[in-house]
Amino acid sequence: MKLSSEKGFSYIDVMIALVILMIGVLAMLAAVSWSLVQANGHEQQVQAKQIATSTMESIMSVKETDPLRLGWPAVGNVGSNPDPASGVNQGIFVTGFQPVRVDAGADQVIGTADDSGTTVSQMQRRIIITDICDPDRPSPVICSPAGTLPVRMRAVEVTVRYNIGGLQRDETIRTVLTDYAVVN
């Protein structure tokens, strides 16, 4: 009689198969986790862009507001744009990174010191407004030695900072505002 050897898997074969299966499962879990982080990141990025755009629109609206209330002199950071007659600073937009609040406050302008309400989680906003020298019409701050011409151009930069998976990201938009009167 012949002895037949039994054929099958050894413990080593099974262990190797389990290791390969575990590597595949862990890779799949890592891919799913990464895609969830990316989806959350895109949501945060869209929200940051919306906040930056909304802030820029608010700054532009201040320029067009009644000059007795706000107007062009108010388009500046706090402590800037001194009134030539009184020397009082007229800029209303806060400096440095500040928490983003959901309500515009009493002045109905986003990005000013009176913003109220809860803060948008893990987001901060910075507004930088800088006078620009117009070579055709020098400004008193930068170009005009006599200080006779008012500033008519300002660079505006709005940055919203947010975090994705522990990494800090920034969304920045820029524009130039002018205060030139239309002459017929």
Q: Pick the closest to residue 107 from 62, 57, 158, 52 (CA basis).
A: 62
What is the rounded distance in angstroms from the CA atom of residue 60 to the CA atom of residue 62? 5
3 state DSSP class of 158? strand
Distance of CA 36 to the CA centre of its chain: 22
Q: Could you report the per-residue pLDDT of 31-73, keeping only the tens digit for each? A: 998 888 777 778 889 999 999 999 999 888 888 876 767 888 8
Q: What percent of the chain has pLDDT over 90?
A: 32
- pTM over 0.85? The answer is no
- What are the C-alpha distances in Å from 14 to residues 9, 11, 17, 20, 25? 7, 5, 5, 10, 16
Q: Could you report the per-residue pLDDT of 102-142, keeping only the tens digit for each? A: 888 888 888 888 888 888 888 999 999 998 876 665 555 44
Q: Where are the domains of the chain?
A: 11-178
Q: Could you report the per-residue pLDDT of 134-175, keeping only the tens digit for each? A: 666 555 544 544 455 667 888 999 999 998 878 899 999 999
Enumerate residues 6+ apart whose C-beta is below 8 A from 90. 73, 74, 76, 80, 81, 82, 83
Q: What is the DSSP letter of 64?
A: H
